[in-house]
Amino acid sequence: MRELLYALRFGLPLLAVVTNLSAYTHTVKKGDTLYSLSRAHGVSVEVIVKANPNINAAALRVGQTIEIPGQPNVTGSGTTSPPAVSVTGGGVPTVHVVKKGDTLTAIAKQHKVTVSDLTAWNKLASPQINTGQKLKVSAPPLTVTSTMSATVSGTDAVSASVKPAPPAKPLTVIQPPPEKYLFVSRVKKQIDAPKISRQWKYIVVHHSGSRRGNAAIFEYDHRRRGMENGLAYHFIIGNGTDSGDGEIEIGGRWRRQLKGGHLRTELTENGVEINETAIGICLVGDFEKDRPTRKQIAALIELVNYLNKRAVAAGYAKPRFTVHGTIHPRHTDCPGKNFPKAALFRMFGAGSGE
Amino acid sequence: MKIGSVQIGWALTVTVALGFLMPWVRFAPTAAFDDQAEIVAQLAEDNWLCDYVLMNNHDWRALRQNPAAGESGLQVALTGRDADDAARALAEILFGEAGFKNKALLLAPLLAAAGAVALMRWKKARHWLIALMVTQAAFYFYLRWQLRDAYVNRLVLELNWGVWLTLYGLALMTLIMSVRALLPPKVKW
């Protein structure tokens, strides 16, 4: 689906639909939001809203059509436009056998393509070509399959093998952009820096129990209390007092992949201290009295998802999301009654120790 | 029959009272958490219009799913955290834990009725009209702030028609009262 959409952006026509490079008309389905559309089509919400001044951004109606700017406009006339590209059944790239006296420039001119296209399609390291050499003079074929919901007459499941003739540029399927992080991106390098050297089985969320603080303050406090590795947590998420609202700070224990110091040492699992396998995330605030800020929760969701991804990428199982009071119920109510535990347990799966 | 501010005021009072007796919140343990990026974006951005005037996508979707299910405003106001029903217990978190007790929700229909009476007697008690208008506006924005603040709680606790009828009824009542207060005394409306 995404490959199709990205291909569409670069002008690939679908079989039996008319396209032009102005806008794509999307028919709103159940569950669609401007945000989900913006993500799916790689354009910002603002751009969509600007292109559709009459829509109610808070309440899209099912069946409503929305212009997605910068997308090929797909309409249902049932004819193929006279495009710069043509649809072929086989999708086999045209091949030119080099004859004596041929040059790249002459071949490019003959097939109405550019020298750089030829170089790219044939992965040529130098402009030198040899007699008898076979050169691709069109882009490799691309098979596109879509179940896109758009105002297309007939079927909305389209499958076509398309070959541009002659293409202006080599046809490549643009990969979707890498996932964007609103909070993690600022510290992504620091999170990624240490190689994960142990199986983290839990992600345990705490609150600081104080209305303000940051990693440096807690580090000082924990050292003063005799913790030789300093800050007991691996991550701190600020509340806008002594660090930014939703700002993620990385503790030394994460950088050095050390065990946490955030749970009681007597808490064990199969004879192993749970601190050995539990990542500690502390949200600054006293959630017995206040609520975590919206940005703190947003940062927490992103961080947990990112840590899960990293664990899986490193070949480990996803750590279980839980909170201090759940893992050690007789000892503490941390992270406080106002922490949205129920919703986050639902969000991160049934194995969250609820 | 001539429709003036008094008639509109009473109609809004009835709306608020009906809304108070209709479902407000329902426990939605199977709420969709698939698009966590959308949830993060909603939490990260400050959208004043959606937070305090309109409603966000999640609330709008919830409204259309199961309009008859849930606990009424009256039930939420009269039951506490120990209630067996998960919705009522969670509603306490939604409306109660940041210093705003659930029983204060009973003020909603009372304020609306008082507003209608103030509209009837505005000539004799203009200061009451203004005081009630300010109280209603404060009550509305306080509730909206609570709902905004408890956004993540609300991912397992969907709001239903009752809460919106009550809130918008109060908001409209405040608007009618402010228009009446601003109009010159000799203008009949």
Report CB contact under 8 Å: A305, B36: yes
Reduced to 3 states (helix: H, G, I; strand: E, B; else coil), residue A304 is helix
A18 plus A52 within the same structural domain: yes
Measured between beta carbons, the chain B residues lying within 8 angstroms of A340 are 150, 152-153, 155
- Dihedral in degrees, nearest 10, Cα atoms A196, A201, A206, A208: -30
Q: How confident is the model at residue B97 (pLDDT cuts 50, 70, 90)?
A: low
Report CB contact under 8 Å: B153, A342: yes
Q: How confident is the model at residue A19 (pLDDT cuts 50, 70, 90)?
A: very low
pLDDT above 70 coverage of chain A, percent:
68
A214 plus A315 within the same structural domain: yes
Report CB contact under 8 Å: B41, A182: yes
Residue A299 has pLDDT above 90, yes or no: yes
pLDDT above 90 coverage of chain B, percent:
32
**Structure confidence at residue B31 (pLDDT):** 65
A202 plus A98 within the same structural domain: no
Indicate left, alpha or beta for A353 from its phi (over 0: left) and psi (-120 to 50: alpha). left
Range scoring the smallest mean pLDDT among A53-62, A161-170, B25-34 = A161-170
The total of other beta-carbon atoms located within 10 Å of residue B69's CB is 14
What distance in Å separates the CA atoms of residue A37 and residue A49, rounded to the nearest whole number? 11
Report CB contact under 8 Å: B39, A301: yes
**Structure confidence at residue A92 (pLDDT):** 52
A267 plus A128 within the same structural domain: no
Residue A242 lies in a domain: yes
Cα of B137 to nearest chain A Cα, Å: 23
A149 plus A116 within the same structural domain: no
Residue B149 has pLDDT above 80, yes or no: yes
Measured between beta carbons, the chain A residues lying within 8 angstroms of B41 are 35, 182, 298
Report CB contact under 8 Å: A294, B44: yes
Cα of A340 to nearest chain B Cα, Å: 5
Residue A200 has pLDDT above 80, yes or no: yes
As given in the structure block, the two tokens for residue A167 are 């293409």
Residue A17 lies in a domain: yes
Top pLDDT among A314 and A108 is at A314
| Number of domains into which chain A is organized | 3
Q: Are strands B23-27 and A320-323 parallel, antiparallel or unpaired?
A: unpaired
Report CB contact under 8 Å: B55, A246: no
Kindly report the CATH number assigned to the domain that includes residue A154.
Answer: 3.10.350.10
Report CB contact under 8 Å: B38, A291: no
Render pLDDT for B80-90 as a digit per residue (tens, 0 to 9).
555 556 676 67
A247 plus A320 within the same structural domain: yes
The total of other beta-carbon atoms located within 10 Å of residue B85's CB is 12
**Structure confidence at residue B147 (pLDDT):** 87
The total of other beta-carbon atoms located within 10 Å of residue B117's CB is 17
Top pLDDT among A23 and A194 is at A194
Residue A220 lies in a domain: yes
Q: Give the nearest chain A residue to B155 (CA atoms).
A: A343
Q: Give the nearest chain B residue to A298 (CA atoms).
A: B40
Q: Which among B36, B55, B151 has the least Cβ separation from residue A294?
A: B151
Top pLDDT among B69 and B83 is at B69
A218 plus A343 within the same structural domain: yes
Contacts 24+ apart (CB under 8 A), A51-56: A51/A23
**Is B50 an interface residue toward A (CB < 8 Å)?**
yes
Q: Residue length, chain A?
A: 354
Q: How confident is the model at residue B75 (pLDDT cuts 50, 70, 90)?
A: confident
The total of other beta-carbon atoms located within 10 Å of residue A158's CB is 19
**Structure confidence at residue A170 (pLDDT):** 53
**Is B90 an interface residue toward A (CB < 8 Å)?**
yes
Q: Residue length, chain B?
A: 189
Strand partners, A18: A75
**Is B36 an interface residue toward A (CB < 8 Å)?**
yes
Q: How confident is the model at residue B134 (pLDDT cuts 50, 70, 90)?
A: very high
Q: How confident is the model at residue B61 (pLDDT cuts 50, 70, 90)?
A: confident
Residue A309 has pLDDT above 60, yes or no: yes
Q: How confident is the model at residue A16 (pLDDT cuts 50, 70, 90)?
A: very low
What distance in Å separates the CA atoms of residue A259 and residue A273, rounded to the nearest whole number? 9
Render pLDDT for A56-110 as a digit per residue (tens, 0 to 9).
666 677 777 777 776 444 333 333 333 333 333 334 567 888 887 787 777 877 8
Q: How confident is the model at residue A141 (pLDDT cuts 50, 70, 90)?
A: low
Q: Which among B31, B44, B98 has the least Cβ separation from residue A298?
A: B44
Kindly report the CATH number assigned to the domain that includes residue A238.
Answer: 3.40.80.10
Top pLDDT among B24 and A55 is at B24
Residue A120: give the domain boundaries. Answer: 94-136
Of A28-32, A136-140, A258-262, B55-59, where does the model show the most confidence? A258-262
Q: Are strands A202-207 and A320-323 parallel, antiparallel or unpaired?
A: parallel
**Domain spans in chain B, listed from the N-terminal domain onward:** 5-26+57-182
Domain end (from A112, A128, A163): A163
Q: Give the nearest chain A residue to B90 (CA atoms).
A: A342
Q: Give the nearest chain B residue to A179 (CA atoms).
A: B37
A81 plus A128 within the same structural domain: no
Q: How confident is the model at residue B3 (pLDDT cuts 50, 70, 90)?
A: confident
Residue B166 has pLDDT above 90, yes or no: yes
Report CB contact under 8 Å: A347, B32: no
Mean pLDDT of A141-164: 40
Mean pLDDT of B155-166: 88
A338 plus A219 within the same structural domain: yes
Mean pLDDT of chain A: 73
Q: Could you say which DSSP state residue A196 is in?
A: P
Top pLDDT among A152 and B51 is at B51
A200 plus A299 within the same structural domain: yes
A214 plus A313 within the same structural domain: yes
Render pLDDT for A255-295 as a digit per residue (tens, 0 to 9).
988 888 888 877 888 888 888 889 999 999 999 888 899 99
Render pLDDT for A240-258 as a digit per residue (tens, 0 to 9).
999 999 999 999 999 988 8
Q: What are phi and psi of A343, to 5 degrees?
A: -65, -40
**Is B41 an interface residue toward A (CB < 8 Å)?**
yes
Mean pLDDT of B66-70: 80
A329 plus A260 within the same structural domain: yes
